[in-house]
Structure formats: structure tokens, C-alpha cells
Amino acid sequence: MTELVEFTVLGLVLASVYAVAASGLVVTYTTSGIFNFAHGAIGMMSTFLFWQFTVGWDMHWALAMFIILVGIAPAFGWIVDRVIMRGLANTSEVTRIVVPIGLLFALLSLAPLIWRPTENRLVPPIFGRQLYDVLGINVTRHQLVVVAIAVVVALGLRFLLFKTRSGVAMRAVVDSRELTQLNGASPGRSSALSWALGSSLAALAGILIADQVGLEVLALTLLVINAYAAAVVGRLTSLPLTFLGAGILGLAQSYAVGFMPDTPAWLAERGIEASGALRTAIPVVMLFIVLLLVPHAPLRGGGIQRSREAAVRPDLRGSLIGFAVVIGVTVVLSGMLTEANLVAWGKGFAFALIMLSLVPLTGYGGQISLAQLSFAGIGAWAVATWGTNGSPLGLVAAIVAAAAVGAVIALPALRLRGIYLALATLAFAVFMERAVFTQQAVFGGSKPVSRPQFGPLELTSNRAFVIFMAVAFCAVGMGVVLLRRSRFGRRLQAMKDSPAACATLGMSLTTTKLMVFALSAAIAGLGGALLASLQRLASPANFDLLHALPILLLAVAGGVALVSGSLFGGFMLASFAIVPGWIPEGWEIAGFNARNSFSNLLLLLPAVLGVSLAHNPNGAAHEIGQQVRGVLARVRGATGEDEPDMVLPPRNVETLGVDRPLRDEDIAAVDTLLGLDEEVIGAAARSR
Amino acid sequence: MPLLEVADVSVRFGGHMAVEAATLSADAGSVTGLIGPNGAGKTTLFNVICGLVSPVHGRVRFDGDDITGTSTHQRARRGLARTFQRLELFGSLTVLENLQVAAEIPRRERRAPVATRVDAAVEQCGLGPFLHRRADVITTGQARLVELARALVTEPRMLLADEPASGLDSSETEHFGDLLARLAADGLGVLLVEHDVSLVMKVCSRISVLDYGKVIATGTPAEVRADQRVVQAYLGVPVEAPT
């Protein structure tokens, strides 16, 4: 009985921290409409700052807390809203999800640059270890204060949202941004205020839990997944239900530590550690289950979405030339590169393939997945298991296994859309990382992989294998280009634009989503298998969330609707291993090792590119393509031939003709505005 | 037997009864009107018929079969098509691709080739001049025609048209009305929700009037026009002048 009370109290303390973190998430989401994936990272940075102030600079904890919670954290939230999130108006759901993930990754990469991870840091429980007797068990003062703080936060938020002018305006923005504006309130101000408040709550949660989790960048950042699970119970909008969710999760975790039986012997003998895996995976399991259980809005028409993203229909000739160039360059360059750089070049193709898996899924079909690297991990495992002695069956097994898991995981996720789908796939990815890939029976630390052999065709040399990877990427890439031009490609694009219209025309969204999820997982599985074959090693370390984030960021930053975008993203990621090597060893700039510093700065690049999507949602490959086409058009002297096979979204007429010459789409927008169709324009031209 | 029957359907959104025990029917080969003031529940009823909203009570029958529990896409495959009050075109596709997507959705029964059905709908709705433009840059009038054409390529037996004339000028509305009448003459059943009363009176053979979620009158245009409850629903109850 005492044990039960003990674990209940511990659970409630955990729950209090989750509640504080989750309520910050909910306040930001309901007011600004943007799900702050970086919530945990903001808490992590704040906690490190707190350590710096209190331990590093000997500041009193109360003053440090005041400076962080009232000054730095809210200011950061305010600035993030003003500078980054404000730019997300009229962008697709994918962009609105990826930009905060960019911010998460930026903070995750930045923190170890400021606070070197090699140093051991401790945050003592702020409110002391003095013990009190509660219901017959000993509780520290820190634990009591944490619970009290959660209660104060709950009451404070209730007061703010219902009794103050700013709070009412924040709630009004949720209902109707336009109406709030018409009534004299400023939605921009409300949204900035919610970001400030959210950041402050993230900081508070981080500081409160630091004594339990330790000052560790990734652990503190990923604590936010627990907050996601709690917030989803409240459907990201209800604060009371969010607090309930936090309570359930805190208690479940605490009871699991106290009462979950050990793994049965028959499982342990087979290298499966079920109990420990389940304990660490409780938050993601809860997140996944709740996502499937909470009722979701039915399909509704939302009118034609005018998004800033361009929809691209790739042209065949250009794609063929592009693929030929990729293979040609690889053949030539692979004879010149060092072995290490050759492997890095090969990794570029593996990453590009994994990113390519997002093109049909996200680029064409509008479905979001944060689990692509997990499918790649399944591919790596399959090739290690069935590809022994160079059997090409390993690659086939990788494709089939990943597709099968992709379809199985898609089944429950089919009814989810947007942010809920993103969270469900994230939960799956973290589950695979924590509970599956770590098992002795799966990777067992790491597995050796032999490279496939096709009859007499030997791929044992790095050069031969990298050329094979280039050909594989181009073949799959061509398939994806043809897919976009096919019936299925049109279906995917239609599903992205209006699921409601698709259903009323007779399209089964379930089948379409299932097919595209399986296809996408298969491509990622192939990418993972090739990566493992290239390295001759399948290791779970390659497929964790920390590696998954830059893959998603660079895929979208490269251009998620373009095959060239994935190539751009893949090689950008691979170049991080090559480029710093060009700086001579031992060079110093202002006392810093130039190679290491540059290497560290490169780590920030995916984040910067991800965040920059707010301003350029089409991605880099699209922009480069536009520039190249512009130059080509000028060289050809604007003969009108070879018009780009690309349809651009309309622009606001207010932006026309101010500081640049009119483009075709500007004229089309004016035509639309004036209600002119080709017939009228043609007649007018003839009469002239 | 009517092609489409809605029997005693009720829809509740939280504490609000959006539709209450509504009963109506629509025949093949004619245009049936569904009118009512704003917020009367017309679009909600459409959503129930095509399966986007589940009723708390009542049945929907199509061609004699109870389709209340079937999914939206299965209803469409039986021959039920619709257009939307707020346009639901595939904005990133061209007008032609919008039609192709709809025409390519597989059905069990044998139909004319995709290209034949698309060409026929393009011709019927006059989409030629803007066939290759992106669907989110065309005018509202053009977009209404594209939505109609996109529904027609699925070869429906019953078309639910949700305020097809909103956003159209008078000549476009007239043109649209003529088109609906022609389609009905060719055997298509049309259930028309519309605010433009003159259009409804002109093309509909029967009209149902919805107010506060209830069907308050059903009859020919002349009968409905003369019905006191309809007049009150639209104009309000006359107040006795103070003496």
C-alpha cells in the first residue's frame, strides 16, 4: 500500500511537469494555429541557461528564474513568432509543420556548441531536498512545490484566458481571426503573446524537471513528446483535458516503474527485452493510442486552397537529361574521389532515396510522415537478415518488409490528417527507436551486411557500388516522375487539394493513402538497405530521431514535390562529412579549430534551411530550377518555345508591377480578377 | 419510386439540431429544388445525403437501397454526385486534369473511355477556352462549370448542386439554369439548393422548403410560392400594427 502511495506521489510530480509543458503547447497552438515542435527544445535551452546563471555564474536561483521566465524565454517566443512563424500564412500544412521542426533542430544543434556535452553538469532541486511526511511517505520540498506550481499554472491560465482582455482576445482569435480583427483586437499581438507565454511555460517545465532528467540536450528536448501525449488528450485545445492527460501519463509512467513485471524468460531468451522497452515507450504508445481514439473532424469542404506553393509537373525530357548527368558525373567523379569521400558520395544517394520517399507521399499526396527513417531502418535490418552472401533477395526483402510495415502503420493512421498524422508517425518513429531497434533480437547492437551481387556483376568495390546506387536512385527517381504524370499521380495531387471532393467523386481515400504509404515506405526501405550495404553495417544509430529530423528538413527545404529536391537534400546532408575535410588540419580562426567549427556550423544548416521555408515554401531545387529556366529563356531570346512545364500559384494583385516586370502568372492573376478568359482576350487582340 | 429519398433525417451538432426530421425525395429526369433561409440546414442535408455527415436519426435511400451506413465514395460509385457551395476544385491541377481525375476513378460497371467522357463534359459545359489553366486562377463562373463538368464525367444518376449560382452574374446564372434543365431532360436527377429564387422557380418541377432544420412545405413552384409558412419563413411573421 505504501508503495502504491509512493508511486502515485511520484507520478503526480511527473504529471505536474508534463501539465506545465503541455499547457504551454496548447496555448500556442490554439492561438497561433502552429504546433510548436520546438517547445521542448526551448525548455532545454532555458534549462541550460538556468544552469549557466545559477551554477556557472553563482546567481541566486530566484533571480535566475525571474530573468529566464519573465525576460529571456518570453522574448524568444515573441521573436520566433514575429520573425519566423508570421511568415507561415497561406503555406501548406507540411510547411507549417516543418518550420517549427527546423527550429527544434536548430536549438538541438546549437546547445552543444555553447555547452560542450563532455562536461558534467547538475541542476540541484531548486526548492531543496528537505523531507515532508505526506500520507505516510517522504516527499521532498521540491516535489511538493512542483505540484503546487502546476496548480498555480492551471488557475493562472484559467484566469488569463477567461478574465483578462488579452486572454479573451486570444480565445477569440481561435474562433475567427478575421472577426477578432474587425472588433479591434490584434490577432498578431495575441499570437505573439501566446508564443511568449508558451515559451515561458516550456522554460518552467524544463527547469522543474532538470533534477530528474539531468542536463542532457536530447533527453530534455524529447521530454516534449510526453507533453504532446498529454496535449493530444485535450485535442490540442482543451486545457482541463490536457491536465487530465498529463495526470494519466505521469501515473502510468510511475506505476510502470513500480509494478510492471520483468520480461518473461521465454522472450528474454530470444533477445527481446519487453518490459524495459515498453517502459521507455509509454509516452509514444499513449500518444499513438490517443491519436487513434480521439474523435476527429469529419471531411468537410474548405473551399479552394490558395497556397503559396507551386505545383510542379515534371517534364520527361528534362528529367531524363538530369538523371543521365547524375550517373555520368558519378562515373567520372568516383574515379577521382578518395575512398572516404566516395562513401560519403554514396551516402548522398542513400539519403536522397530516403528523401525521395517523401515526394509521392508528401509532395504529391500531402500526407506527412516523420517515420521515413524508421522504414529505412527496417530496410537495413531486412538486407542484413536476408541479403547474406550477396543475395539480391536482401534488397527485395528490404523493399517488401518496409512496404508491409508502411501499410500496416498506415492502416490505423488513415483517418488522421495534418498535425495529428505527423504526431502519429513521430510516435511510431520513436517507438521503433526506443523499443524495437534496440532489441538484441533485431539489430543486436549492429549487424554485418554484405553487398548484393547480381550474377557476374560484382559490387564489392566502393566505386562500383556507388555507381550502382546512382543508377538505383535514378531508376526510382524516373519512376516517381512517371508516377506524377500518371493517373495515380493525379489522384494523389487531387487528394492533397480536396479530400472531400475526392470522396464525393467516388475515390476511396483509404486505398489511395494505403498505396502511397506503402510505396513511400518501400522507397525509404530501399534507401536504408543501400545505406547499410554501402557501410557493410546495419546499425540502429543511423536510424534514430536525431538523424530523421535533418532528413525531413532537407527533403522539404530541397523541394518535397521534386525529385531534384531530394537529390539536393541528400547531397547537402552527405556534404557535411566531406566539406570540412577540405579545410587543412590544424588551421585556427580566432583561437578555434577551423575544421571543427565549420563542421559544427554545418550542423545548423538543415535547421536554417528548414526555418527559411517560411519565406520560400517551394524549396531550393524549385528556386534553382526557376533561375536556370530564366537564364535559358534569355539565351533563347524569348522565342516562346520550351515553356516551363510548371504551373505557378497566383499572386496578390497588390504586389503587381511595383518593383519588377510582370510575369505570365501576374497577367493570369489580373485576367482572373477582371474575369477575362482566353476568348475575350483573344477577341480583344484580334480587334487590335 | 423516387431515385433519392431522405426519410425523417435529423442531425445534431452539439446541442443544436441542424436538421430535424427532414423528409424529401427527388426523381430522375427532373430538377427538385431545396430552398430555405440561411442556416436552414440545406448544406447539412446535402452532407448527409452524400455521406460527409452522419445523421443521428433517419434513413437515406438511393434507387430503393438504404445507403445510410455506406461511405461517401461508395455512394458516389452508385451514381450520386455533388458540387460544393464553397468551390472544391483541385486547385493545383489544370481544369482538364480535374476532369480526368474524376473520370479515371474506377467503377465496376463498363463505361465509355475516359477521354470520351471528358470530351463530352468539356463540350457540354463549354470549358474549351480555359481547359489548360490551373483551377485556382479561373473565375468563379468558370469554376462552377468545372465542378459541374467534373461531377458529370462520373456519369451520375443524381446530382446534388449546392448553390451553383452564387458568385455568378445574371447571364451566367441563366446559362447555368439552362444547362441544368437540359441535363434533367436527358434523364439526370438534380437536387438543387439555391438562393436565387427566380432560377429555382424556373428550372424546378418540385420544391421543398427548409426552415430551422425542418421541411415546412413541399410542392410545385406555384404551390410553394403561395404557401403562407414559406412566406413567413422568408419575410418573417407580420406584426399587428399598434392600434
Q: Are A361 and A496 in contact (CB under 8 A)?
A: no
Q: What is the spatial distance between Cα A207 and Cα A48, in angstroms, rounded to a whole number?
A: 9
* Residue B143: all three cell numbers together: 469554376
Q: Please give the Cα distance from A314 to A633 (Å, whole number).
A: 18
pLDDT, mean of residues A468-479: 95
Q: DSSP characters for B130-142?
A: GTTSBTTSS-HHH
Type and span of the H or E element at B210:
strand B206-211
How many residues appear in chain A?
A: 688
Cβ of A649 within 8 Å of Cβ of B154? The answer is no
Spatial separation of the C-alpha atoms in residues B220 and A299, rounded to whole Å = 34
pLDDT band at A95 (very low <50, low <70, confident <90, very high): confident
Q: What is the pLDDT of residue A423?
A: 86
**What integer pLDDT is reported at residue A152 of this predicted model?**
92
Cα(A435)–Cα(A417) distance, integer angstroms = 25
Q: Is A640 on the interface with B (CB under 8 A)?
A: no
* pLDDT score, position A662: 55
Check pLDDT > 60 for residue A639.
no
Least confident stretch, A73-77, A523-527, A639-643, B190-194: A639-643
CB A237 within 8 A of CB A32: no
For residue B235, give how far its alpha carbon lies from the nearest alpha carbon of chain A (Å): 28
Percent of chain A exceeding pLDDT 90 equals 23
Please provide the DSSP assignment of A246-267 as one string. HHHHHHHHHHHHHHPPPPPHHH
Q: Output b/e per residue, A248-267; b: 16+ Cβ within 10 A.
A: bbbbbbbbbeeeeeebeeee
At A653 the pLDDT is: 39
Query: Could you say which DSSP state residue B192 is in?
Result: E
Q: What is the percent of chain A with per-residue pLDDT over 70, rounded to a whole number?
A: 86
Asked whether B177 and B127 are in contact (CB, 8 A), the reply is no
Architecture of the domain defined by B1-79+157-238: 3-Layer(aba) Sandwich (3.40)
pLDDT above 60 for A655: no
State the sign of the Cα–Cα–Cα–Cα dihedral A669, A672, A673, A677. Answer: positive
> Picking from A113-117, A175-179, B87-91, B202-206, which range would have the lowest pLDDT averaged per residue?
A175-179
Q: What does R_g of chain A's alpha carbons equal in angstroms?
A: 27
How near does any CA of chain A get to the CA of B51, in Å? 8
Q: Looking at residue A671, what is its pLDDT? A: 62
pLDDT tens profile A128-157: 778 888 777 888 888 888 888 989 998 998
Contact A493 B143 (CB under 8 A): no
Cell numbers for B6: 431522405
Q: How far apart, in whole angstroms, are the C-alpha atoms of residue A421 and residue A414?
A: 8
- Output the CA–CA distances (angstroms, integers) from residue A447 to A168, A288, A384, A386, A537, in the order listed: 57, 29, 6, 12, 6
Q: Which residue of B has its CA nearest to A683?
A: B129
Give the E-state strand segments of A265-401 in sequence order.
311-312
Element (H, E) at A51: helix A39-51
- State the number of CA atoms in the 13 A half-sphere of A210 facing the CB: 25
Smallest CA–CA separation between A363 and chain B, in Å? Answer: 12
Assess: ipTM above 0.95. no
pLDDT > 50? residue A58: yes
The answer to whether the Cβ–Cβ distance between B130 and A501 falls below 8 Å is: no
CA–CA distance from A390 to each of A343, A407, A460 (Å)? Answer: 19, 27, 9
Q: In this complex, which of B93, B137, B141 lies closest to A497 when CB atoms are compared?
A: B93
Query: What is the residue type of B106?
Result: P
Mind listing the pLDDT tens digit for each residue in A156-213? Answer: 988 888 888 888 887 777 666 677 777 777 778 888 888 999 999 999 999 888 888 7
What confidence score (pLDDT) does residue A510 get? 87
**A295 CB near a chain B CB, below 8 Å?**
no
Looking at chain B from residue 99 to 128, which residues have their Cβ under 8 Å from any Cβ of chain A?
100-102, 104-105, 107
**DSSP string across A594-643:** HHHHHHHHHHTHHHHHHHHTTT-TT-HHHHHHHHHHHHHHHHHTS-S-S-
Query: Per this entry, what is the length of chain B?
Result: 243
Interface touch A669/B150, C-beta < 8 Å: no
Whether the CB of A498 is below 8 Å from some CB of chain B: the reply is yes
Q: By the 8 A CB rule, do B52 and A503 touch?
A: yes
Residue-level pLDDT at A476: 96
What's the confidence (pLDDT) of residue A383?
Answer: 92
Q: How far apart are CA A560 and CA A527, in angstroms?
A: 16
The answer to whether residue B53 neighbours chain A at the CB level (below 8 Å) is: yes
CB contact under 8 A, B129 and A649: no
What value does the mean pLDDT take over residues A488-512?
A: 91
Are the C-beta atoms of residues B215 and B226 closer than 8 Å to each other?
A: no
- Which residues of A, range 162-201, sit inside 8 Å of B by Cβ? none
* pLDDT for the residue B192: 92
Q: Which of A305, A490, A503 sits opposite B100 (nearest CB)?
A: A490
**Does A649 reach chain B within 8 Å, measured CB to CB?**
yes
pLDDT tops 70 at residue A297? no
Q: Which residue of B has its CA nearest to A366?
A: B92
Nearest to A677 among B71, B86, B130 (CB): B130
Minimal-distance CA residue of chain B relative to A301: B88
Nearest to B92 among A299, A311, A669 (CB): A311
The shortest CB-CB distance from A506 to any of B73, B90, B98 is to: B73
pLDDT for residue B152 is more than 80: yes
Residue of A nearest to B77 (CA): A506
**A3 vs A46, residue with greater confidence:** A46
Residue numbers in B near A677 (CB within 8 A): 129-130, 138-139, 142
Q: What pLDDT was estimated at residue A656?
A: 40
Q: How confident is the model at residue A217 (pLDDT cuts 50, 70, 90)?
A: confident
The C-alpha cell that represents A287 in the structure block: 500518444
Domain positions in chain B: 1-79+157-238, 88-155
- The full set of domains in chain A, from first to last, is 2-258 (1.10.3470), 326-582 (no CATH), 647-688 (no CATH)
The rounded mean pLDDT for chain A is 82
Quote the crossing angle between the two packed helices A418-431 and A393-413, to the nearest 10°: 130
- Whether A554 and A384 have beta carbons less than 8 Å apart is answered as no
In chain B, what residues touch A487 (CB-CB under 8 Å)? 100, 104
**Residue numbers in A near B167 (CB within 8 A):** none
Q: Which three cell numbers stand for residue A623?
A: 528556386
Cell (9 digits) for A247 = 495526470
| CA nearest to A282, candidates A241, A230, A204 | A230
Please tell me the predicted confidence (pLDDT) of residue A668.
Answer: 63
Q: Considering only CB atoms, which chain A residues are within 8 Å of B130? A: 677-678
d(CA B75, CA B55): 15
Q: What's the rounded Cα separation, in Å, for the pair B206 and B152? A: 22
Q: How far is A93 from chain B (nearest CA, A)?
A: 15
- Closest CA of chain B from A85, distance in Å: 24
- CB-nearest to B137 from A487, A503, A668 is A668
Nearest CA in chain B to A364: B92
3-class secondary structure, A675: coil
Residue at grid coordinates 549557466:
A52
- Confidence band of A559 (pLDDT split at 50, 70, 90): confident
Check residue A575 and give its pLDDT: 82
Question: Does the pLDDT at position A531 exceed 70?
Answer: yes
Q: How far is CA B95 from the centre of its chain?
A: 21
- The answer to whether residue A646 scores a pLDDT higher than 70 is no
Inform me whether the pLDDT recorded for A431 exceeds 80.
yes
Residues 6+ apart with CB under 8 A from A130: A140, A141
What is the band of B156 on the pLDDT scale with cuts at 50, 70, 90?
very high
In whole angstroms, give the CA distance from residue A669 to residue A647. Answer: 13
A497: closest chain B residue by CA: B90
For the cut 60, the answer to whether the pLDDT of residue A301 exceeds it is: no
* Residues of B in Cβ contact (< 8 Å) with A497: 89-93
With a cut of 50, say whether residue A526 has pLDDT above it: yes
**pLDDT reading at A645 higher than 50:** no
Between chains, do A487 and B133 touch, taking CB under 8 Å as contact? no
Q: How far is B154 from chain A (nearest CA, A)?
A: 7
Cell 521532498 locates to: A140
Determine the residue among A505, A560, A618, A645 to mutate to test chain B binding: the one whose Cβ has the most chain B Cβ atoms within 10 Å.
A505
Hey, which residues 63-102 in chain B have their CB within 8 Å of chain A?
A: 71-73, 76-77, 81-82, 84-94, 97-98, 100-102
How far is A11 from A19, CA to CA, in rounded Å? 12
Question: A673: distance to nearest CA of chain B, Å?
Answer: 8
A66-79: pLDDT as tens digits = 999 999 999 999 99
Of B47, B71, B90, the CB nearest to A494: B90
Tell me how far apart the alpha carbons of residues A342 and A463 are, in angstroms, rounded to a whole number. Answer: 7
pLDDT at A215 over 90: no
- Cross-chain Cβ contact A301/B84 below 8 Å: yes
pLDDT at A49: 93
